[in-house]
């Protein structure tokens, strides 16, 4: 080993290694502070830190108590100027003062000196010594400066937010140009273009609302309105295309939902087959619990999806026309025919109302044509012809609907008659069946009395047969008999739902198997049941 080189430590200068931080539980060791005119001795490190009041907002002023009686303002400045720049000192005659610093962090440095003992020079006189107590102090100047600072920060924050909102604010739309013949021609061309139609319609609407329409520009505006009207057919076609896409999506969703429901049914079938006795006994208790929970969840989700699918089908059935509904049973036929008749009635009424409206329009047009014949008479004649054609078509359609309505009513009457005949046939069949059952019962009573007696057995179910076997075994090992309470206490270990009265009634019905005897004398008198099956076997 090389000699003369000291070992490297983390605290050696020049290595740039920061010493480990002081834990909060460890007390801070304060040192003696030497000044020109006085000396400050640190307090006992084991004592708790001196108590301080709640720090006021923006505090720059401290209260200093425990000063020596002979302490001057020069000594106070000498001690506390180490903490920072002092703005003002207000000293009292009662050994305390207030010191105001330039910044808030200097107050924390001044609080470090709280608890120090001060001694002026080397004198040990009582008037030359004291124990410093430094605490936060409330000052109006500090509060005012802090409030001014907070208001300034709030103004800066509001300004920053306003600048951010202005930066993110969408730009304003360009102003609508004023009407002129040149701009009118441009807007008319845009109205014919599908991509620029919305912008051109907004311009047209603004011009009309401004009052640009007059006798000179009326023809131009009429042509632009006519161009806007030509887009109605395009919009209707677009809507029809979107409706077709929606129907296809509905059909696709319905098919996917049906497939999901089939898979849910298969999963639920798996759970039900696993719950059967053949497989259920081989699972553990935890596995059975999980299977039951999974089965319940799958059934709930299956039911939700099934309801959704049924709702879709119900909506489709409501939207379907009368011709598309299939008549499956007689009851469905009657209900559907009634609903169709009601629908035809409503359609008949609506067609009549439309017919009246067309007639009114035709009369109004005739009156206008008779009162004031103008240049646009050919247009009116054409409109009259169109209205007359529409009126004829409506009348033909109305006649067809009335014929169909009459046919449906005849079908409905026929279905009602068929239903009445079927009900009469059902009643006749029921009467014949009741007569046959009466004859059968009378013949059975006369021919087979032995079979009837055999069927009227005292044991009515397999459960009662099991109870008889268990009670017989129990009483066989109790030759002196047992009370009904003792027997039922034994049976309750096997099944808690067994009733004492039912057991006693069963044993009373089997007189050749069980016998009740009274045992004991006086107060110890007790009813006991005994097994007498072997004796009954000998008698039979």
pLDDT of residue 114: 92
Q: At which of 300, 318, 336 does a domain end?
A: 318
- Between residues 14 and 176, which one has the greater pLDDT? 176
Residues 6+ apart with CB under 8 A from 187: 200, 203, 204, 224
**342-356 pLDDT tens trace:** 777 777 777 777 777
CA atoms of 100 and 60, how far apart (whole Å): 6
CA atoms of 461 and 458, how far apart (whole Å): 9
**Interval 205-221 mean pLDDT:** 89
Instruction: Look at residue 19 and tell me whether its pLDDT is greater than 70.
Output: no
Angle at 386 between CA 221 and CA 378, to 5 degrees: 60
214 within a domain of the structure (yes/no): no
203 within a domain of the structure (yes/no): no
Percentage of the chain surpassing pLDDT 70?
82
**Interval 179-204 mean pLDDT:** 89
pLDDT of residue 497: 79
Query: What is the band of 90 on the pLDDT scale with cuts at 50, 70, 90?
Result: very high
513 within a domain of the structure (yes/no): yes
Domain count, the chain: 3
CA atoms of 403 and 401, how far apart (whole Å): 5
Helix (H, G, I), strand (E, B) or coil at 120: strand
Query: What is the band of 447 on the pLDDT scale with cuts at 50, 70, 90?
Result: very low
DSSP string, 264-307: HHHHHHHHHHHTSHHHHTTS-HHHHHHHHHHHHHHHHHHHHHHH
64 within a domain of the structure (yes/no): yes
Instruction: Look at residue 75 and tell me whether its pLDDT is greater than 50.
Output: yes
Q: Could you tell me which of 93, 58, 91 has the C-alpha nearest to residue 77?
A: 91
φ, ψ dihedrals at 232, nearest 5°: -65, -45
pLDDT of residue 442: 55
pLDDT of residue 337: 65
258 within a domain of the structure (yes/no): yes
263 within a domain of the structure (yes/no): yes
DSSP letter for 482, please. B
CB 318 within 8 A of CB 378: no
520: left (phi over 0), alpha (psi -120 to 50) or beta: left
Buried b (16+ CB within 10 A) or exposed e, 199-229: bbbebbeebeeeebeeeeeeebbeebeebee
Q: At which of 272, 303, 318 does a domain end?
A: 318
84: left (phi over 0), alpha (psi -120 to 50) or beta: left
Q: Could you tell me which of 156, 220, 229, 241 has the C-alpha nearest to residue 197?
A: 229
Q: At which of 303, 318, 333 does a domain end?
A: 318
Structure tokens at 288: 């059975």
Which CATH number fits the domain that encloses residue 517? 1.10.10.10
CB atoms within 10 A of CB 99: 26
Q: Could you tell me which of 281, 278, 275 has the C-alpha nearest to residue 296?
A: 275
First to last CA, the chain: 119
Q: What is the pTM of this model?
A: 0.33
Query: What is the band of 163 on the pLDDT scale with cuts at 50, 70, 90?
Result: very high
Domain that holds residue 41: 33-149
Q: To which residue do tokens 């509905």 refer?
A: 250
pLDDT of residue 510: 86
CA atoms of 40 and 75, how far apart (whole Å): 12
Which CATH number fits the domain that encloses residue 70? 3.30.70.330
Q: To which residue do tokens 């304060």 refer?
A: 30
CB 530 within 8 A of CB 475: yes
207 within a domain of the structure (yes/no): no
CB 518 within 8 A of CB 527: yes
228 within a domain of the structure (yes/no): no
């Amino acid at each position: 080993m090389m000699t003369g080189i000291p070992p490297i430590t983390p605290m050696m200068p020049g290595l740039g290694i920061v010493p480990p931080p002081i834990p909060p539980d460890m007390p801070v060791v304060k040192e003696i502070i030497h000044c020109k005119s006085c000396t400050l001795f640190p307090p006992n490190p084991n004592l708790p830190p001196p108590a301080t009041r709640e720090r006021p907002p923006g505090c720059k002023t401290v209260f200093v108590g425990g000063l020596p009686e002979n302490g001057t303002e020069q000594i106070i400045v000498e001690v506390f100027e180490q903490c920072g720049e002092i703005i003002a000192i207000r000293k009292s005659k009662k050994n305390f003062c207030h010191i105001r610093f330039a910044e808030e962090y200097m107050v924390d440095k001044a609080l470090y000196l709280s608890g120090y003992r001060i001694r002026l020079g080397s004198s040990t006189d009582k008037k030359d010594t004291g124990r410093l107590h430094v605490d936060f102090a409330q000052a109006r100047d500090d509060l005012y400066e802090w409030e001014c600072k907070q208001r300034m920060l709030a103004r800066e924050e509001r300004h920053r937010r306003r600048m951010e909102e202005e930066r993110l604010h969408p730009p304003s739309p360009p102003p609508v140009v004023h009407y002129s013949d040149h701009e009118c021609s441009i807007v008319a061309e845009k109205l014919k273009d599908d991509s620029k139609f919305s912008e051109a319609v907004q311009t047209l609407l603004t011009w009309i609302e401004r009052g640009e329409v007059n006798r000179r520009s009326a023809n131009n505006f009429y042509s632009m309105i006519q161009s806007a009207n030509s887009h109605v057919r395009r919009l209707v076609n677009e809507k029809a295309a979107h409706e077709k896409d929606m129907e296809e999506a509905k059909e696709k969703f319905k098919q996917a939902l049906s497939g999901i429901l089939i898979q849910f049914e298969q999963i639920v079938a798996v759970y039900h087959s696993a719950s059967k006795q053949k497989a259920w006994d081989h699972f553990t208790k935890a596995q059975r619990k999980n299977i039951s929970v999974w089965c319940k969840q799958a059934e709930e989700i299956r039911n939700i999806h099934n309801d959704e699918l049924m709702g879709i089908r119900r909506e489709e059935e409501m939207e379907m026309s009368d011709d598309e509904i299939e008549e499956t049973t007689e009851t469905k036929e009657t209900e559907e025919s009634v609903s169709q008749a009601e629908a035809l009635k409503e359609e008949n009424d609506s067609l009549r109302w439309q017919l009246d409206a067309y007639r009114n329009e035709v009369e109004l047009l005739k009156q206008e044509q008779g009162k004031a014949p103008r240049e646009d008479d050919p247009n009116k004649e054409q409109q009259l012809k169109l209205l007359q054609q529409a009126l004829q078509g409506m009348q033909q359609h109305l006649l067809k609907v009335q014929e169909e309505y009459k046919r449906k009513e005849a079908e409905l009457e026929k279905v009602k008659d068929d239903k009445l005949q079927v009900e009469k046939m059902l009643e006749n069949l029921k009467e014949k069946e009741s007569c046959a059952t009466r004859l059968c019962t009378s013949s059975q009573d006369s021919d087979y009395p032995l079979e009837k007696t055999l069927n009227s057995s005292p044991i009515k179910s397999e459960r009662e047969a099991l109870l008889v076997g268990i009670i017989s075994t129990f009483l066989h090992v109790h030759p002196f008999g047992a009370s009904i309470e003792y027997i039922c206490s034994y049976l309750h270990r096997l099944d808690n739902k067994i009733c004492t009265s039912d057991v006693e009634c069963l044993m009373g019905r089997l007189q050749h198997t069980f016998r009740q005897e009274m045992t004991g004398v006086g107060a110890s008198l007790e009813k006991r049941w005994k097994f007498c099956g072997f004796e009954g076997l000998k008698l039979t």
